[in-house]
Amino acid sequence: MRSSSLHLLFCGVVLAALAGCGQPPEPIFALNAKTAALAAPAQKIVRDVLHENFGTPNNLVAWEQFPIDYGKADPAADDRLRHEPGWRLIEGRNLYMVHCLHCHGVAGDGAGPTARFLNPRPRDYRQGVFKFKSTVGGSKPSRADLQRVLEEGIPGTYMPSFVLLGTEKLGIITDYVRWLSMRGEMEEKVAVQLASTGAGSEDLQRSFREKREEDKNVTYEDVEKEVLAAINEDLAANVAEAAQDITDSWIAAEDSASVIIPKSKRPEPTSESLARGKELFLGTRAKCSDCHGPAGRGDGPQNEAFEEIKGSTPPRKYDHPGLHDVWGNIIQPRNLTRGVYRFGRRPVDVYRRLHSGINGTPMPGFSTALKEEELWDVVNYVMSLPFDGRQSAAPEDLATHHPVEERPQPVEVSER
């Protein structure tokens, strides 16, 4: 009796195990919200463009025009994968699926299974907007910038360092991420183009209702056909133009001229420099304190303003106060008293944030408003904030007795 019930139990366990061994679902590149808001036939156009030029996660298509090293065939390599062209993209995909997917999602949409539990959210690459980079203005990050994020992680977030994978593998992942970003941008650009042609499902229904008021015999299909004809007339040119724009912007980021390099060396953080930096931080010329707060805790009054939702027609406001990034997340200006700097703690890293702002966020660049020396003064002041208590006691001591390289490491303290 006892043995037969054990036997049954065993059979049950085996059956249950087998049931879970079917083929897992095939991974797909999910559509973005802008594509999803289009009418079904327009959605299909976007899907077809993407499928033709980028393929599916299991059947990747490498678009030669893009500035990505897809990997040349190397028949002599030990690794069989490298015998065929495009192996870097495949290996990038494989590594991405293992190490990155669970936060950043299959399509790089920042919506992997873990993403919903994270704050800040993992980056959604599909807009081609990256916050942490060394390049000027609104340009794209360079390969080196992205690889540095992989190597060092992003302090203060869930992004860890992947330095143990080695430089070659990180380079391969970097290119795959760039490819995902280009794919996402392509989708976004085509979807926006179709929406502006009137192919949004709401737009289409509205124009159908309007036309029906004038002529009872108009059918929805007529209206749809008209819009689709207008789309197809321009589609090839629009796709080519979007691809060219994407290519140009990523190539420009690799140009050494687009890297922000200060002409002068950082001045010593003397008490005069700190005082000048403080005046700029609090004063009316730079007004850093509007967002970052008078004490640099990231609690400035701008956090209380109601922002408009970008790109909303007619313009609508968020129903809650606060600063927002282009992904629609509410964001807090950095608390500068904690000494945690997302893209590196070297003074030049902070200088670059000040020089060109942070893409995708309200943080503007100050290179147009402040001179280089003034930017350095603000850098010095901002980097002294974690040590504020000591500084206010004896700022001269701090400046003279601890040159910046030898200063104690900032200690992570709980906020307020």
**Nearest distance from residue 52's CB to other proteins, in Å?**
7
- Pick one of 189, 276, 338, 352: the residue that binds other proteins (CB under 8 A): 189
Report, in Å, the least distance between residue 323 CB and other proteins.
8
* Per CB under 8 A, 72 contacts other proteins: no
Helix (H) / strand (E) element for 223: namely helix 220-254
* Cβ atoms within 10 Å, residue 261: 11
The Cα–Cα gap between 289 and 302 comes to 9
Residue from 202, 255, 372, 412 in contact with other proteins (CB under 8 A) = 202
Nearer to other proteins, 9 or 369 (CB): 369
Which residues neighbour 18 within 8 Å (Cβ) at sequence distance 6 or greater?
A: none
Query: Six-digit token pair at 242?
Result: 């979007």
In angstroms, the Cα distances linking 153 to 28, 147, 254, 255 are 27, 10, 21, 24
Give min distance, CB of 45 to other proteins, in A.
9
| Binding status of residue 357 toward other proteins by CB under 8 A | yes
Near other proteins by CB under 8 A: residue from 31, 46, 235, 331: 235
Q: Which is nearer to other proteins, 10 or 306 (CB)?
A: 306
Size of the site for other proteins (CB under 8 A): 92
205 touches other proteins (CB under 8 A) = yes
Closest CB to other proteins among residues 259, 305? 305
**Is residue 4 near other proteins by the rule CB under 8 A?**
no
Q: Which stretch binds other proteins (CB under 8 A): 49-57, 148-156, 171-179, 266-274?
A: 49-57
Q: Determine, following the binding rule CB under 8 A, whether residue 237 of this chain makes contact with other proteins.
A: yes
Tokens standing for 113? 């299974």
In this chain, which stretch among 10-18, 91-99, 144-152, 344-352 interacts with other proteins, using CB under 8 A? 91-99
Which of 20, 25, 389, 408 touches other proteins (CB under 8 A)?
25
With the C-alpha atoms ordered 353, 359, 361, 366, is the resulting torsion angle positive or negative? positive
Q: List, in order, residues 6 or more apart from 331 with CB less than 8 Å away.
A: 120, 322, 323, 324, 325, 361
Q: Which is nearer to other proteins, 3 or 23 (CB)?
A: 23
Min dist. Cβ of residue 8 to other proteins (A): 33
Binding mask 50-69 for other proteins (x = CB under 8 A): --xx-x--xxxxxxxx----
Looking at 30, 111, 165, 192, which residue binds other proteins (CB under 8 A)?
192
Indicate whether 285 belongs to the interface with other proteins (CB under 8 A): yes
301 binds other proteins (CB under 8 A): yes
Q: How far apart are CA 138 and CA 129, in angstroms?
A: 8
How far, in Å, CA of 41 to CA of 139, rounded? 34
For residue 313, state whether it binds other proteins (rule: CB under 8 A). Answer: yes
Radius of gyration of the chain (CA): 26
Would you say 32 or 193 has its CB closer to other proteins?
A: 193
**Closest separation between CB of residue 205 and other proteins, Å?**
5
Cβ atoms 183, 54 nearer than 8 A: yes
Which residues in the 359-398 window bind other proteins by CB under 8 A? 359, 362-370
CA distance 134 to 153: 16
Among positions 114, 201, 271, 332, the unique one binding other proteins when judged by CB under 8 A: 201
* DSSP one-letter string for 140-200: PPPHHHHHHHHHH--TTSS----GGG-HHHHHHHHHHHHHHHHHHHHHHHHHHHHIIIIIB
| Residues 6 or more apart in contact with residue 372 via CB below 8 angstroms | 262, 263, 264
> How distant is the alpha carbon of residue 148 from its chain centre?
14
Task: Tell me which stretch binds other proteins (CB under 8 A): 147-155, 166-174, 237-245, 341-349.
Answer: 237-245
Contact 230, 360 (CB under 8 A): no
Smallest distance, Å, CB 244 to other proteins? 5
Torsional class of 129: left (φ above 0), alpha (ψ -120 to 50), beta (otherwise)? beta
Q: How far apart, in whole angstroms, are the C-alpha atoms of residue 330 and residue 282?
A: 24
- Give the nearest distance from C-beta 267 to other proteins in angstroms: 21
Least distance from C-beta 202 to other proteins, angstroms?
Answer: 7
Longest dimension (CA), the chain: 89
Among 302, 337, 380, 384, binds other proteins (CB under 8 A): 302
Counting contacts by CB under 8 A, is residue 89 touching other proteins? yes
User: Footprint of other proteins on residues 128-187 (CB under 8 A)?
Assistant: 129, 137-139
